[in-house]
Amino acid sequence: MNIVEQATKVTKTAAQGLMKKAVELAPDSWIPGGNPDPLIRQQHGHVGKPVSRLDGPVKVRGAAPFAAEFATEGLVYASVAFSTVAKGRIATLDTATAEAAPGVVLVMTYRNAPRLKPMPAFMSAAKAAGGDSLPILQDERIHWNGQPVAVVLADTQEQADHAKSLIHVVYEAEAATTSFEADKARGTEPALFQGELMKVEIGDAETALAAAPHRVDATYRTPRHNHNAIEPHAATVSWNGDELRVHDASQAVVHTAWSLAQVFGLDEKQVHVTSPYVGGGFGSKTLWQHQVLAAAAAKLAGRPVRIALSREGVYRMVGGRSLTEQRVAIGAGDDGHFTAIVHTGVTAMTRHNAMPEPFIVATRSAYAADTFKLDVEVVHLDMLANTFMRAPGEAVGTFALECAIDELADRLGMDPIELRIRNEPDKDPTQGTPFSSRHIVEAYRTGAERFGWHNRAAPGTRREGEWLVGMGCATGTYPYYRMPGGAARITLTRDGRATVAVAAHEMGMGTATVHTQVAAERLGLELDQVTVVYGDSTLPGVVLAGGSQQTASMGAAVIAAQHALVGELLKLAGNDSPLAGLKPAEVGGLDGGLCKLDEPERRESYASILSRAGRDEVTAEAEAPMPLELQHWSMHSHGAMFCEVRVNAVTGETRVSRFLGSFDCGRILNPKTATSQFRGGIIMGLGLALMEETQFDERKGRVMNPSLAEYHLPVHLDVPAIDVIWTDIPDPHTPMGAHGIGEIGITGTGAAVANAVYNATGKRVRDLPLTLDKLL
Amino acid sequence: MSIMINGAAMSLPEDPRVSLLDLLREHHHLTGTKKGCNQGACGACTVLVDGERIVSCLALAMQYEGRAVTTIEGLADGNELHPLQQAFIEHDGFQCGYCTPGQICSAVGMAAELKRGAPSNVTGDLSADTIAFSRDELAERMSGNLCRCGAHNGIIDAIGATFAARPEVAA
């Protein structure tokens, strides 16, 4: 983005500031969530029950179809060739041998690819889903090391892969910017995230820091990460005339359909994207070049195409989390009161995406302080576009912030939990808005007792044989989001069954199960009377499975749709019903029908209403209100994370022996699936802490460990039994009183581990991952 | 030339490059066996060959002529799930479900290895006749099966509940 574009965005942001102020000052009742969702009061229904996953049986049988598993007549298989230089042009390209190889149907390069528009980059428009905005096989230019340069289609995958190996490319390389340090030395630019400058200045933090009687000031580094969903990105794609059909692995079906329509010059209705099962996403399963390549090749060849990226292919063409270098400095008085918080630093992105890793987001709302200086700067590298990965910003930002707090507590000789509680804010410290729900202190108190925090010894003093043992804690936090565009359709039939349709996604979060529980309770039905359909771009709503917002988005949309449905039913019920004269807001679902909320004996069954009206079914569709609540309140989830590690004094090996996450995330809708989500985030956080790193060759701009053998994930033996508890205090201003919980588990976890390692060894490592060489 | 897959004789491919994994998925549409890395690093493609667990991506299909392969589709008895499949649901041993077939097949093979006393890297007494189904033994022996959603606790709990508590369950 150039400086003019940046300035335009900033001006727009200023105009939006007035609107924002008005929303902040509006009475609660004008704001979505101002009147608590009636479901919060109901404590004995389906919500809150540990229901096993409804899609469990098909998954354990291996009968759930994923994107690369849709059989189609005449299918051909794709194989992708990747560039081996970071910048330059293709000088010679010899595809003749490949074209003549057995089974080959097409070799597509920039010479014969159809003319395509670039993908709209994620966050450049409401429904933009593209990982980058670069030309796709449109010219001989190379923009990153690993860029697709050719696609082979053949009758079998073996034939396609072999033919790809016969393509001969000679590059004319140009000087590329691939070194973070070198580019940083040339100067950085301010980061814009979601149209907002990643900069906060309140008071004079540097002066306050210099004057503080106690301070810490250190630099923390986090490397690149890859999502590594076990299902590699894949799509099965076909054309029917001008209609494009995509069986995708997607956490953004509507965004993907719209974005593909822009690329191919179609109406978004001409693109149909479905994704009933997704083998893990974590931010990566959006639109990348492979779906475009498959669709273009399918068009050119006139055949349906299966593109299933190799694991290396995922590393070459699907971006991950970028690296960060963060300074955190905190000044404190003798009583531990924060006089200054400085959190600044640099991350790398590209010129073709809009995603600076926003590592200060958590710091904006975490602690009270007299002064703040927060700033994210970026450098632009010639590399594969980085992207969102589980808790973008918070996962790595809380590592730096929460380690710094631990260091300060150590310096003050104060318990780190007490230091945090002492700086607990009574309103959002940088926005000034009230918190909608914040019970982190309670989560700490309960967690500390359960974990046995009082047993923590002085750093480096507890040893069992070869093993040094230590405990650490940290705060995890993630915002409550609800994005615009939520919508839902409810169809109720005379036999008392309901189908709830939302273009949402099930990647393992438990969406289908939990929203069946929620809808059943709202409608007054049993679980087996409700079907939730999702994963289809033709369904209502623009619902990203990202930002931990899907539950909120679906929750608000279903509230709106149910309201509309009740309105329809009351009309149908007419004057002969016990419900006659009631308004939709006075009515709720109960025992297979509607009743007056505060007078449940005034009730009529759905079957009775529909029979009398001579109707087989009734359908209502509605959109959720704009998410103004996000500006009216400061809305966040929290977790108190406790870790015990054992560090081998001889080898430096770190083993996590115990972990507890004590969460404050509103009302928990399903304890079984919620526990898995919390643990899943924590386990990815253990990986971030101890082993994960996408190794990037700064000379060549190439990822050097594009494999699950060389990028280390936590395996079974690395994962202890993880204890998870929660406050279960509903947020009065959210649908169901709930918060999304997909991302919070990874936040704070890295710092909890690093703080425990410090407590065990007396060594402070500020450079992730905490591998054994750093402890020797 | 044929191969027994879940009790049925099936054809082998003519192309010698076809892996057992691709034979299952692309030739016989048994897509329950998953491809996660195609290089033996993730375990998603684990199947049982004559009761032993192998990663089918590193096996050339032709080499398995006459052998008996059991995939995830062959574990249940009709509509009756294998006890381990049921335990995975009960203990929430998965989220996205993609690594799940490999985890389940691997665990079935692993339980047989453990029962016949094959030691692992965490076995304390190598001369012992029986090895306990301890949490560490299970976790060590399942470490070749990656899970990214983080269902590790549920997976180990499900395996422990199935095999440790009920040693009669056939592996």
- Residue A4: the pLDDT is 46
pLDDT tens per residue across span B69-124: 999 999 999 999 999 999 999 999 999 999 999 999 999 999 999 999 999 999 98
Mean pLDDT across the stretch A623-649?
97
Within A504-574, residue ranges assigned H as helices are 511-523, 550-573
- Residue A21: the pLDDT is 85
Amino acid at A677: Q
Mean pLDDT across the stretch A493-515?
96
- Residue B167: the pLDDT is 57
Predicted confidence (pLDDT) at residue B35 exceeds the cutoff of 50 = yes
Q: Look up residue A691 and give its DSSP letter.
A: T
Minimum distance, in Å, between the CA of residue A97 and any CA atom of chain B:
20
Predicted confidence (pLDDT) at residue A438 exceeds the cutoff of 70 = yes
Predicted confidence (pLDDT) at residue B166 exceeds the cutoff of 70 = no
Q: What is the mean pLDDT of chain A?
A: 96
CA A735 → CA A35, A39, A41, A557, distances in Å? 10, 8, 12, 9
Say how many Å lie between the first and final Cα of chain A, rounded. 43
Residues A583 and A711 in one domain: no
Amino acid at A605: S
The DSSP code sequence of A194-260 is TTEESEEEES-HHHHHHH-SEEEEEEEEE--B----SS--EEEEEEETTEEEEEE--S-HHHHHHHH
Higher-pLDDT residue of A711 and B128 is A711
Calculate what percentage of chain A has a pLDDT beyond 90.
Answer: 96
Residues A610 and A637 in one domain: no
In chain B, residues under CATH classification 1.10.150.120 are 83-164
Q: Look up residue A114 and give its DSSP letter.
A: P
Predicted confidence (pLDDT) at residue B165 exceeds the cutoff of 80 = no
- Confidence category of residue B168, pLDDT binned at 50, 70, 90: low
* φ, ψ at B46 (rounded to 5°): -60, 130
d(CA A587, CA A522): 11
d(CA A113, CA A139): 10
Token look-up 């019920």 returns A573
Residue A155 included in any domain? no
Residues A535 and A552 in one domain: yes
Q: How far is CA A699 from the centre of its chain?
A: 31
Comparing alpha-carbon positions, the chain B residue that sits nearest to A155 is: B26
Contact (CB, 8 A) for A345 and A339: no
d(CA A507, CA B94): 11
Predicted confidence (pLDDT) at residue A407 exceeds the cutoff of 80 = yes
Predicted confidence (pLDDT) at residue A209 exceeds the cutoff of 80 = yes
Residue A2 included in any domain? no
Range B2-74 classified under CATH 3.90.1720.10: no
Mean pLDDT across the stretch B165-169?
62
**A673 contact residues in B (CB cutoff 8 A):** 92, 95
Token look-up 């643990």 returns A679
Q: Judge whether A33 is closer than 8 Å to chain B, CB to CB.
A: no
Comparing alpha-carbon positions, the chain A residue that sits nearest to B34 is: A231
d(CA A178, CA A379): 10
Predicted confidence (pLDDT) at residue A255 exceeds the cutoff of 90 = yes
Substitution target from B27, B60, B96, B143 for chain A, most A beta carbons within 10 A: B96
d(CA A558, CA A539): 13
pLDDT tens per residue across span A37-49: 999 988 789 999 9
Angle formed at CA A583 by CA A578 and CA A589, multiple of 5 degrees: 65
Residues A509 and A607 in one domain: yes
- Confidence category of residue A15, pLDDT binned at 50, 70, 90: low
Contacts of residue A701, Cβ cutoff 8 Å, sequence gap at least 6: A86, A87, A144, A145, A176, A178, A381, A382, A383
**A66 contact residues in B (CB cutoff 8 A):** 31, 34, 98
Determine, for residues A282 and B138 on separate chains, whether the beta-carbon distance falls below 8 Å: no
Calculate what percentage of chain A has a pLDDT beyond 70.
Answer: 98
- Considering only CB atoms, B76 lies closest to which of A61, A278, A510, namely A61
Contact (CB, 8 A) for B47 and B101: no
Predicted confidence (pLDDT) at residue A353 exceeds the cutoff of 70 = yes
Determine, for residues B140 and A717 on separate chains, whether the beta-carbon distance falls below 8 Å: yes
- Residue A194: the pLDDT is 87
Amino acid at A127: K
Determine, for residues B39 and A57 on separate chains, whether the beta-carbon distance falls below 8 Å: no
Residue B144 structure tokens: 């070749």
In chain B, residues under CATH classification 3.10.20.30 are 2-74
Contacts of residue A2, Cβ cutoff 8 Å, sequence gap at least 6: none
pLDDT tens per residue across span A177-193: 999 999 999 999 999 99
Sign of the Cα torsion A768, A772, A775, A776 reads negative
Residues A741 and A613 in one domain: no
Determine, for residues B41 and A708 on separate chains, whether the beta-carbon distance falls below 8 Å: yes
Nearest CA to A311 out of A417, A251, A402, A233 is that of: A233
- Considering only CB atoms, A64 lies closest to which of B97, B99, B152, namely B97
* φ, ψ at A35 (rounded to 5°): -100, 120
Q: Residue A663: which domain range?
A: 393-400+412-481+631-774
Residue B125: exposed, middle, or buried by beta-carbon count in 10 A (0-12, 13-18, 19+)?
exposed
Q: From A568, A592, A626, give the residue that closes a domain.
A: A626
Residue A40 included in any domain? yes
Question: Which residues of A are identified as catalytic?
Answer: 743
Residues in chain A: 776
- Considering only CB atoms, B38 lies closest to which of A56, A280, A311, namely A311
Predicted confidence (pLDDT) at residue B170 exceeds the cutoff of 80 = no
Amino acid at A38: P
Residue A482 structure tokens: 């609800």
Number of domains forming the structure of chain A: 2
Minimum distance, in Å, between the CA of residue A262 and any CA atom of chain B:
30
Predicted confidence (pLDDT) at residue A705 exceeds the cutoff of 60 = yes
Contacts of residue A233, Cβ cutoff 8 Å, sequence gap at least 6: A249, A284, A285, A288, A290, A309, A313, A314, A318
Mean pLDDT across the stretch A439-449?
98
Class of domain B83-164: mainly alpha
Nearest CA to A263 out of A292, A283, A237 is that of: A292
Cα-trace Rg, chain A = 27
Q: From A626, A657, A681, give the residue that closes a domain.
A: A626
d(CA A153, CA A139): 20
- Those of residues 204-243 in A touching chain B at CB distance below 8 A are 227-232
Nearest CA to A673 out of B34, B94, B14, B138 is that of: B94
Q: How far is CA A257 from the centre of its chain?
A: 20
- Confidence category of residue A570, pLDDT binned at 50, 70, 90: very high
Predicted confidence (pLDDT) at residue A10 exceeds the cutoff of 60 = no
Minimum distance, in Å, between the CA of residue B81 and any CA atom of chain A:
8
Residues A489 and A621 in one domain: yes
Contact (CB, 8 A) for A687 and A656: no
Predicted confidence (pLDDT) at residue A387 exceeds the cutoff of 70 = yes
Nearest CA to A418 out of A435, A400, A406 is that of: A406
Contact (CB, 8 A) for A250 and A543: no
Tell me if residue A30 falls in helix, strand or coil. Answer: helix
Q: From A608, A626, A644, give the residue that closes a domain.
A: A626
Partners of B19 in beta bridges: B60
Calculate what percentage of chain B has a pLDDT beyond 70.
Answer: 96
d(CA A340, CA A527): 52
Residues A607 and A506 in one domain: yes
Nearest CA to A359 out of A747, A752, A766 is that of: A747
* CATH number of the domain encompassing residue A423: 3.30.365.10
Comparing alpha-carbon positions, the chain A residue that sits nearest to B85 is: A60
Residue A352: half-sphere exposure toward Cβ, Cα within 13 Å: 21
Tell me if residue A680 falls in helix, strand or coil. Answer: helix
Residues A686 and A751 in one domain: yes
Predicted confidence (pLDDT) at residue A19 exceeds the cutoff of 90 = no
Residues A487 and A550 in one domain: yes
Predicted confidence (pLDDT) at residue B171 exceeds the cutoff of 50 = no
Residue A661 included in any domain? yes
Tell me if residue A624 falls in helix, strand or coil. Answer: coil
- Confidence category of residue B164, pLDDT binned at 50, 70, 90: confident
Contact (CB, 8 A) for A677 and A742: yes
d(CA A9, CA A144): 27
Predicted confidence (pLDDT) at residue A430 exceeds the cutoff of 60 = yes
Substitution target from A52, A66, A230 for chain B, most B beta carbons within 10 A: A230
Partners of A642 in beta bridges: A473, A660
Residue A448 included in any domain? yes
What share of residues in chain A are helix, strand, coil (percent, to 5)?
30, 25, 45
Predicted confidence (pLDDT) at residue A1 exceeds the cutoff of 60 = no
d(CA A177, CA A224): 17
Say how many Å lie between the first and final Cα of chain B, rounded. 28
Q: Judge whether A71 is closer than 8 Å to chain B, CB to CB.
A: yes
Predicted confidence (pLDDT) at residue A744 exceeds the cutoff of 60 = yes
Mean pLDDT across the stretch A80-103?
98
Determine, for residues B152 and A56 on separate chains, whether the beta-carbon distance falls below 8 Å: no
Predicted confidence (pLDDT) at residue B169 exceeds the cutoff of 70 = no
Q: Model ipTM? A: 0.97
Q: Look up residue A664 and give its DSSP letter.
A: E
d(CA A493, CA A606): 8
**B34 contact residues in A (CB cutoff 8 A):** 62, 66, 230-231, 279
d(CA A163, CA A33): 58
Q: Judge whether A681 is closer than 8 Å to chain B, CB to CB.
A: yes
**A277 contact residues in B (CB cutoff 8 A):** 96-98
- Residue A63: the pLDDT is 97
- Confidence category of residue B127, pLDDT binned at 50, 70, 90: confident
* φ, ψ at A655 (rounded to 5°): -120, 130
Predicted confidence (pLDDT) at residue A2 exceeds the cutoff of 70 = no
